[in-house]
Structures are given as structure tokens and as C-alpha cells.
Structure 1
Amino acid sequence: MYVRTVTSKGIQYAQLAHNVRDPKTGQPRAQVLYTFGRVDQLDLDALRRLVRSIARFLPPDEQAQLQKDLGMEWPFRYLGSLKLGGTWLLDGLWRRLGIQKTLQRLLEACHYQTPIERLLFAMVANRALAPSSKLAIEKWVAQDVYIDQLPAVEVHQLYRAMDFLLEAAEAIQREVFWTLANLFNLEVDVIFFDTTTAYFEIEGEDADGLRRWGHSADDHPKMAQVVIGLAVTRDGIPVRCWVWPGNTGDQNVVAEVKRDLNGWKLNRVVVVLDTGFNSEANRRILQGAGDHYIIGEKLRVGPQGVPAEALRRGGKYRRLPDGLEIKEVVVGGDSAARRRFVIVRNPEEAERDRQKRESILAELRQRLEALKQKQGEAHTKAACELRAHETFGRYLRQTRGARLVIDAAKVRREAALDGKFVISSSDDFLPAEDLVYGYKQLWQVERVHRDLKHTVDVRPMYHRLDDRIRSHVLLCWLALLMIRVAENETGQTWRQMRDLVAPIDVGRHATAHGEVWQVRPLTEEQKALFQALKVDRPPHYLKIVTPTRKTA
């Protein structure tokens, strides 16, 4: 098939033709398929549209070559798309929370050539949207997402940004805290604190460093780990983080936490802690500078322990609106050892404890009968295993005749603890119910710990240097900070918000006049989310890049 011209009466005509073989003579002859008309009167725009329409069926490289050969400009050419919704939303929060301004102010005296603030935002956004290694962020930024003023990164730049983050960690955490407190009118008089652990996929531990063996909260006792501490407001917003060697015990970190919080010059702080931090030394530290504590007490500390004495005290329980029963007890009178306790009983939990214990005792009686013990005989292997059993052994005692029997006194003591927990406080003015509800809010820290491990994927960590590990935790903290603010403001989970904005992308189109970056139209739900978070929506046309003209 080809285009030919013929002349008739001195006028040229353009025709679309192809050759067919004459059935009689066997010779090829031209067959006209379409006549375009006079050459001097051709509709050139119509011909261009025809060429473009036909070229759609050619491979992309041949289309480009055809365009080059013919000197034709196509209306537009699709170049690809980048994900925009998640990074745009987080960038808006990043700016609204003052993190960008804080970093820029701290960077003024450093004179970096690389965009440190943008690099830090990219790593934080990556933790919140698609957690990956620092090396993988190179591809993520260049090919997957759009980040304003950051078209590409190199991994060595990310590490330099992490170094700066660690250098400025104290100032960043302090200024972000006060910005949040003023922006959202946060109640910062009560701070919840707890620790967790994060492990490393390595064999052994560091002889002198953060990666050490210790008690694992992740059920990975054979892996080196670090201990991570988080201070959380009563609204569930993490406002500070710490990192210690993996063999650090909870009771050894309270002094540092108290010192760092005092450095923020808060008027008054009540620190809420779980039982693992409870010691006489820690309680003295927490009462320093006019501050106070609410702390959990261990129930099973022996009959001479102070909590046991508080449990033995008489008094009437009073019922709270949520069904809990509380009783306030003061031990020590007016002496220096005076302590205030609140004993809490949950009737529903007490019934569950009773049923669970009765089930255990019923099984224990059957196992004792199966032993067929005789007075004065040595224990069999089965008897030894039963006595050492983690669950059943706690209810057993051995008689003078070496027989195993159920310890009725131990059963009565356990029954007296059904559904109960005990807290103490150094504050004599907070109502008992406020102490109880304050302690129960420790679940806010537990939730942040879960998000730390399952949303921003702090673990497992592949960093080796102590500074890199600390900086990595700071990045995860910043990501959690924005996530919790977003959840508090919208009432939605981060997963719901992330999935809602995930379809928002920006398409790149090449035109004769430059590149056009067009954003997918937003749905009403997406618009409502941006409005709830007070973040500007992305424009329909993100940017138009015109080619620069070369000057002579």
C-alpha cells in the first residue's frame, strides 16, 4: 500500500493505492483505494491526524523515529506516573507541625549543599508509607513517589542527613514538643513512659555498643537488641524517644528520663510507669523538682512487702461509673516512709480469674490421683515434673511424708488477688479515680509500641553503628508522631487514611511545549480528609515544565 500522484489535464492528484495481480494477464496493476484530491488543495491537518492514528499501532521507538523523520509534533505523549497522595498528605502535616521550620532554622548555620530537610522528610515518609532500607529509598524517591523539591536521592546523602538528625536530636525533640503543645493545646502535665525492645538479624552481640543480649519483648532472646523508651502524652502522641543497650534494665533508665524531661522546663509532671520501674530509688528520683509519679505495684512481693500490707488493710470499696471498684489506703502514717496506695478490683476480671483457677485445680486433682502416691515413697519422675510445672506447681506443697498435695493456703491467697491491681502515687491531691484512670491509660504507650513495630517497622534493624541506630529510631519516632496526630484529628486509623489517598497519583505528559504534570481528580472522601487535617489539596496541574531556549 502506498500513496501515489497522477496528473490529469495538468493537475496532480494524490491517491492511496496498492498493487493487485491481474487474473488474466498475471501482471501487477495499481488499484486505487482512496483519492485524497488535488495535491495543491490537500487538507494537511487531516493527513496528520491519519498518520498519528496509524502510528498508534507501531512500537514506541518507531513512533518516535517517525515523529523525528517527519518533523511532526504529537499533541502529547504519556511518560509515566508517580504516587502523590501519601507524600503530599504527610508533607502538609510535616509543615503544619512546624518540623520543616525547626529543621531549616537549625540548618541555617551549617551551610549544607544537600537538601537535608527534604532528605529527612523522605526517610520519615518512607517509614509511614512503605518502610524499606535506606538503599531502597533511592529507587522509591526516583521512580515511585513524588516529593516536592526532591526528584532523586543518593544513599550517602541519606546517611549524612541521619548524622545531622542525631546531632540536633535534643533541640528537634524539644521544639517539636512545644510546637505540638501550643498547636493542639496538649495536656502535658501527665507523661506516660515505657520501654520495649527491637532486635537485629545478627549472630552474637557487640562487645561494647548498643546491640546486646537482654530480656526481649519480641520473644527473640537469642538475638542482640536495643531498648527503646517512649514518652507519650495522655492523647497518645509520642513526644520523646530514647535508645539504650539491649541489656539495660527498666530500673536503670528512670534517672535519665527524668533529667531529660526536666530539661524542657515543664511546670509540673506526673510520670506514669508500669511495675517494672518500681523501686525505692526510682520513686525518689521521680519526686524530684516538685514532680510526682503514678506507678504500678507488684502484688506478689511476699507477706512483709508494703503492697501486701496495703492489701491487708480493711476498708470499703467504692464503685466507679465504669464498674471498677477502688479503695484508698495510706501506709506509714506521717513518717518519711508514708505511701499512698489505691487498690483496684475489676469484678468481671475477678470472675475470669476464679474460673481459670478452678479449671487449673480440677486438672491438678486429676494429675495427683494419677500419680498414686504412697506415704514415705520417693517421688517418681512424673511427680517431679508436676511439681516443677510452671502452672500447676504454684498450687502444690509437699507434706512431711513427701506427698504432693494442693496448698489450700496458697489457693486462698491467690483468690484474694482475683481481679485486682495496685497502684501508688506520691501526689496526695490527685483524686483516687484520676490515679486509676491515669494508670490505665498506659495502653497508649503499648499502642505506640505496636505501631513502632508493625506500622513503621522499626525492626529488624540492619544498622551497625550506634549513631545510625539512634538516628533510625528518631526517624521512626517522627513518623509515629505524624501518624498519631493524624489519627487524633480524623478519628480514622492510619491504614484507612493511607489506603484512601493511595490512588492519588500525578501523570507526566510530554507536549510540544514542555511537560505537564496532571494530578488525578480527588474524590469527596479524599477532599474531606485533607480538610480535616488542615492540609492544602494538591492542585489539578502540579507543574508545567517548559523547555529552556538555548541562547547564542
Structure 2
Amino acid sequence: MRLQISRSKNAASFYVVKSVYVNGKRTNKVHEKLGTYKELKAKLGDKDPYEWAKEYVAELNRLEKEGKEPTVIAKYSPSKLIKKGEQRSFNGGYLFLQKIYHELGLNKICNEISNKYKFEYNLDSILSRLIYGRILFPSSKLSTYELSSELLEPPDFELHQIYRALEVIAKETDFIQSSLYQNSLLLSKRNSGILYYDCTNYFFEIEEGEGLKQYGLSKDHKPNPIVQMGLFMDGDGIPLAFSVTEGNKNEQLTLKPLEKKILSDFKLSKFVVCTDAGLASHSNRKFNDKGGRAFITTQSIKKLKAHLKKWALDPNGWYLPGSLKTYNIDTLDEEKDKEKIFYKERWIKENNLEQKLIVTYSIKYRDYQRKVRNSQIERALKAIDTNPSKINKSNQNDYKRFIKKTHCTDDGEYAENEIYSIDTELINKEEAFDGFYAVCTNLDEAATEIIKINRRRWEIEECFQILKSEFKARPVYLKRDDRITAHFTACFIALIIFRILEKRLNEQFTCETIIHSLRKMNFKLLKGEGYEPIYTRTDFTDALHESFGFRTDYEIVTLKQMKKIFKITKNK
């Protein structure tokens, strides 16, 4: 900043001016008007206005050099129109994602890939924008490209280069995943002793299956071709590795190939794999019964052999953690024992596989299952009363399973029209299993510890829920298999970054709060001065700034301060 004196015939006016850059061009801007010579003389008394003004400007420069920038004065005209097509608002929520992106060394991973293929486009810029876009404004690749211009830092690529980059990302997805894991170890310790695995699928708005896109059992109940995604998550809820397979492939067959990649590429050898019953084939259990590995898997009590089922449902022989006393669950107090979890365990050997069967019982879980079933029965009754013609086949968890269709009256007489009624026999059969839950394992750990580990499987379900709901990973509109793989690679990385962000905030905030707040962290550009935050400061934004070590919630973030923030977010 410097002093400028504007002289006229009758007066001399004192100004503080500074050089600023607007649209890349240097220009001078009045920072502050100090007053006329006459006004300053009256204010300062015996002090010379010229000397005082020089000292004042020198003090401003000293404070600016020390990082104590002076107050910014912005002037607006109520009669001047804003420029047509000029962008005035930018998102800054991505800066916190960018910090984690660089801490994970994803920029260096992109540089390694770029050096391998010798292409000229900026893969780092493309991948980072695909990831930030997936979290902040999930949409198509075209929309992601267009919306990237709303970030404080503009994109450094063209639209056609995104599609070229997708091909490379797909080819290098295994390298990206293994490198990402190794880099994450430098960021924090990974709980890779416990690994959770599950599968989901994503549908396509097409009618004919091809390549990865095949007709299969859709978990969204959509009559469209699907692809399957298998996901490994570590013991702290952070994704570890993923794979994409054909939609018509048996999901039990997806576990071993991905686990073998973890064994070879991630250099992991000893861990416990925790899955649900649908993935717990005998082959998968045997695979994790060697080499220092182990398994914990949900076990359907209904599918147990008769003698084991009888033992599991027997009301006698139940324990509470930390006690040797046995209980009869038929004599429990409905109120006093409602929150307690009882268990029993035994070792079994089938098909040369020795494993421990642990069964738990809870009054609270029993009541929950009955509440869900009663709600389904109400829906079934409503369907019978209102539109029975639309009742067709159902799956094992569908409310329509309780609807029985016959051609006989209650007296046994034949009826020409179909008669619909509630299947009370099925209801009674299901009620016999209410409150019970079972797992199998080859670990010789205490039952309470096994149950504790298995309980965290909900986090991998939550991962899928975030991908599908908040990140809008479905439906998928890409056609080529390599681009589909690249799409899910970006989704996978976005999920890792989001989970790390959750942990950094000590899991104080919900998924919705985090994502919606980041989306709203917008800034108004004050040309030549900086950025004015136009978002609401909240407990979340305070926690965010405190955790990341920089702040964007000053009344104005000067250009110099913002440049420093950019640098902070790109340092490892």
C-alpha cells in the first residue's frame, strides 16, 4: 500500500491505495480515504498531515506483513447493474476434502499414472473433481464438469478429457486401491485385523444386459440390468478395497478373488473376515480357516440341522456376559431383562470344518422383530381388502409372504374364485425365532467379543447407503465397462475421504449434516479484495475449522489468506 495525494485548486485529498489483480491484470484501488489536508489539520492539531499520513501507511504495511491485514472497505452502487454472466459465488466446502485428498497422496498416485501413460491432460485435476463432485453435487460426468467451475479453484481440463481419463482410472484401479491403502497407513493406523465384507448392486436404465450389466436379483427391486459391487471395510469403518462384477454372478463367488488381491497387493496376511449369512458359503469359510486368517459370519438358525436348531431354541442353558449362572429365557422379566443380551455357545464340526456356534437372545430384539412383522401383516390385510388381483410372488422378507391363496372355503368346499387370507401358520413359525440371532466362527475368543465384532457390520451397510443416497451412485448411465469401473473407483475414493472426515470430526455429526453443510459453504467474490463467507457459522463449521487448522469464517478471507489456505490444503 502507498500514499496518494490528489490535488485540486483549493484542496489536497489523502488516499491509501494498493495494487490488486482483477482477472489477471494489475490495477490500483483506493483502500481508504483519509480526508483533505484541512480536515486532517483540524484533527491532528500541531502534527503535520503529510508526515502523519506517511506513518499511517507504513504502519498498515507493517501489519499486513505480519499477517494482521487491515479492515476491508467495499463500496456498492444501488444504481449499477452486475455484469451479465459474471460468476460471483463459489463453493469452498471442497477445501476440507482436498486436504484429505492430498494427505492420502492421491495427487502423487495420479502423477505416477500420468508418467506411465505419458498423456498431457491433468489426471490429478480430473480425479479430484470427480471425487469432490461425487460428495458435494453428485451428478453425471457432464454436470460434474460444469459444476466444477463453482469451486474456488477452477478445473484444469476439458470435458472430453474426463472420458479419456476414465479409461486409465479403470485400468489402474488395483494400483490406486493398493497405493491408497499404503498411503493411508502414514496418515493413521488402520484396523486391518478385522475386515468386513458385503455386496450390493446398482441398476442401469437400460433394457438389455451386456458386459458387466446383467439381469440379476436387484436389491433395489428394479427390473433392470445390474452390476455388483463387493466391498471390504476395515475394523474402524473405513473402506479398504472393492471390486465390480457381473450382475448375474453369485455374490458368494466375489469374496475370494478380492480377498486374494488384498493378500497379494496390500501385503496383509492375518485378519478376521466378517460377513453376513448370504456370503457365508462353506467354501468361503474354509478359505478363511487357514494362513492365519479367521471368519465370523451370521448363521441362519432356520437352516441349522434339526439337533442344532433344537439346541439353539431351547429355553434352558443361557448365560449373561461375565456370569456363570444359567438362565431360562421363558422365565425372564419383561421389563428388568429387556436390555440384556443372553447367549449360549458350542463347537460343531461339519464337512471337515470345526467352528463355534454362538446364539444370542434379546427381549428387545424380539419385540423389534414382532413390531416389523405386525406392520407387514397390516399391509397384507390392506392388500387383501383393496387390490388382491395385484398380489403375486413375494420374497422371504416381503409382506406378501403372509398372504395365502386358496380355492377352498373355510368349510372345505371348492370355490371358483381365488380366496385370499392371512397365513397364520407361517406367522407362528416365524414367531418361534423372534429374539434369536446366531453367528459362526473359527475363533476361540469369548462369545461376548465375537458378538461385539459382528455388531459393527451395520457400518458396511451404511457405506452402501451413503453411496446410493447421498453420493447418488445409482442409477448408472455409463455404457462401457471400463467407464463403469472408473465411476465406482471415484465413488470408492470419495467414500474413504468422507469416512476419514467423519473420524476427524470425532463422529459428532450425521452424514446428512456433514454433506449438506459442505455444500452450503459458499463464498462471494469481492474483486481485488478476497472472499466473503455467505454461509451460516455453526457448531459443525467450528469443529471443521478447528480440526483442519485453518479458518474460512472470517468476515472476509483476503486473497492473500485464501492463497495460503490453498497451499495448506495441498500439503501432505
Work out whether the TM-score is over 0.5: yes
Greater alpha carbon shift after TM alignment, 108-117 vs 348-357: 348-357
Aligned to 2:71: none
- Matching of residue 297 in structure 1 with residue 299 in structure 2: yes
Contact 1:287 1:293 in 2 (8 A): yes
Aligned AA (1:41): K
Structure 2 unmatched runs, 5+? 1-7, 15-29, 34-74, 323-338, 385-403, 564-572
Q: Partners of 2:305 and 2:269 in 1: how far apart?
A: 39
- Matching of residue 81 in structure 1 with residue 88 in structure 2: yes
Aligned AA (2:440): S
Greater alpha carbon shift after TM alignment, 493-502 vs 242-251: 493-502
Question: CA 1:287–1:85 in 2, change beyond 3 Å: closer, same or farther?
Answer: same
Q: Partners of 1:120 and 1:101 in 2: how far apart?
A: 12
Q: Partners of 1:314 and 1:498 in 2: how far apart?
A: 47
Instruction: Give, in angstroms, the shift of residue 543 of structure 1.
Output: 8.1
Aligned to 1:217: 219
Question: CA 1:227–1:532 in 2, change beyond 3 Å: closer, same or farther?
Answer: farther
Aligned to 2:275: 273
Greater alpha carbon shift after TM alignment, 177-186 vs 252-261: 177-186
Instruction: Give, in angstroms, the shift of residue 59 of structure 1.
Output: 5.7
Q: Partners of 2:478 and 2:256 in 1: how far apart?
A: 27
Q: Partners of 2:543 and 2:224 in 1: how far apart?
A: 41
- Matching of residue 394 in structure 1 with residue 400 in structure 2: no
Instruction: Write the mapping of 1:273-422 to structure 2, written as runs, cut at 5 A.
Output: 273-301=275-303, 303-304=305-306, 308=309, 311=312, 316-320=317-321, 323-332=340-349, 336-353=352-369, 373-374=410-411, 377-378=413-414, 381-382=417-418, 385-386=420-421, 391-392=423-424, 394=426, 411=428, 414-422=430-438
1:417-475 deviations in whole A, cap 9, x for unaligned?
22111110122x22211211211211001100110001111011110000000100111
Instruction: Write the mapping of 1:112-511 to structure 2, written as runs, cut at 5 A.
Output: 112-142=119-149, 144-147=150-153, 150-206=154-210, 209-220=211-222, 222-263=223-264, 264-301=266-303, 303-304=305-306, 308=309, 311=312, 316-320=317-321, 323-332=340-349, 336-353=352-369, 373-374=410-411, 377-378=413-414, 381-382=417-418, 385-386=420-421, 391-392=423-424, 394=426, 411=428, 414-427=430-443, 429-490=444-505, 491-501=508-518, 502-509=520-527
Instruction: Give, in angstroms, the shift of residue 380 of structure 1.
Output: 6.4
Q: Partners of 2:80 and 2:370 in 1: how far apart?
A: 77
Aligned-residue sequence identity (percent) comes to: 20
Instruction: Give, in angstroms, the shift of residue 129 of structure 1.
Output: 0.3
Aligned AA (2:257): E
1:259-290 deviations in whole A, cap 9, x for unaligned?
12212221411111101112212211222422
Contact 2:126 2:157 in 1 (8 A): yes
Question: CA 1:442–1:357 in 2, change beyond 3 Å: closer, same or farther?
Answer: closer
Contact 2:230 2:255 in 1 (8 A): no
1:332-359 deviations in whole A, cap 9, x for unaligned?
39x9343310011112222455678799
Question: CA 1:373–1:460 in 2, change beyond 3 Å: closer, same or farther?
Answer: closer
1:294-353 deviations in whole A, cap 9, x for unaligned?
11112222654x8536526786211249621111111239x9343310011112222455
Greater alpha carbon shift after TM alignment, 498-507 vs 249-258: 498-507
Question: CA 1:251–1:374 in 2, change beyond 3 Å: closer, same or farther?
Answer: same
Contact 2:171 2:482 in 1 (8 A): no
Question: CA 1:449–1:280 in 2, change beyond 3 Å: closer, same or farther?
Answer: same
Contact 2:137 2:144 in 1 (8 A): no
SS in 1 for 2:347: strand
Structure 1 unmatched runs, 5+? 1-39, 65-77, 396-410, 510-514, 546-552
Question: CA 1:104–1:58 in 2, change beyond 3 Å: closer, same or farther?
Answer: closer
- Matching of residue 41 in structure 1 with residue 23 in structure 2: no
How many corresponding residue pairs?
450
Question: CA 1:450–1:349 in 2, change beyond 3 Å: closer, same or farther?
Answer: same
Q: Among residues 526, 538, 543, which one is paired with 1:529 in the alignment?
A: 543
Q: Partners of 2:362 and 2:348 in 1: how far apart?
A: 23
The root-mean-square deviation of aligned C-alpha atoms, in Å, is 3.9
Instruction: Give, in angstroms, the shift of residue 500 of structure 1.
Output: 3.9
Q: Partners of 1:350 and 1:499 in 2: how far apart?
A: 36
Contact 1:258 1:285 in 2 (8 A): no
SS in 1 for 2:198: strand
Instruction: Give, in angstroms, the shift of residue 507 of structure 1.
Output: 0.7
Contact 2:194 2:273 in 1 (8 A): yes
Q: Greater Rg, structure 1 or structure 2?
A: 1
Q: Partners of 1:188 and 1:54 in 2: how far apart?
A: 57
Instruction: Give, in angstroms, the shift of residue 520 of structure 1.
Output: 3.4
SS in 2 for 1:41: coil
Q: Partners of 1:182 and 1:146 in 2: how far apart?
A: 28
Contact 2:129 2:155 in 1 (8 A): no
SS in 2 for 1:423: strand
Q: Partners of 1:463 and 1:231 in 2: how far apart?
A: 24
SS in 2 for 1:338: strand
Q: Partners of 1:42 and 1:355 in 2: how far apart?
A: 89
Question: CA 1:527–1:347 in 2, change beyond 3 Å: closer, same or farther?
Answer: closer
Greater alpha carbon shift after TM alignment, 495-504 vs 91-100: 495-504
Question: CA 1:176–1:392 in 2, change beyond 3 Å: closer, same or farther?
Answer: same
SS in 1 for 2:245: strand
Q: Partners of 1:141 and 1:346 in 2: how far apart?
A: 50
Aligned AA (2:124): E
SS in 1 for 2:548: coil
SS in 2 for 1:301: coil
Instruction: Write the mapping of 1:90-129 to structure 2, written as runs, cut at 5 A.
Output: 90-129=97-136
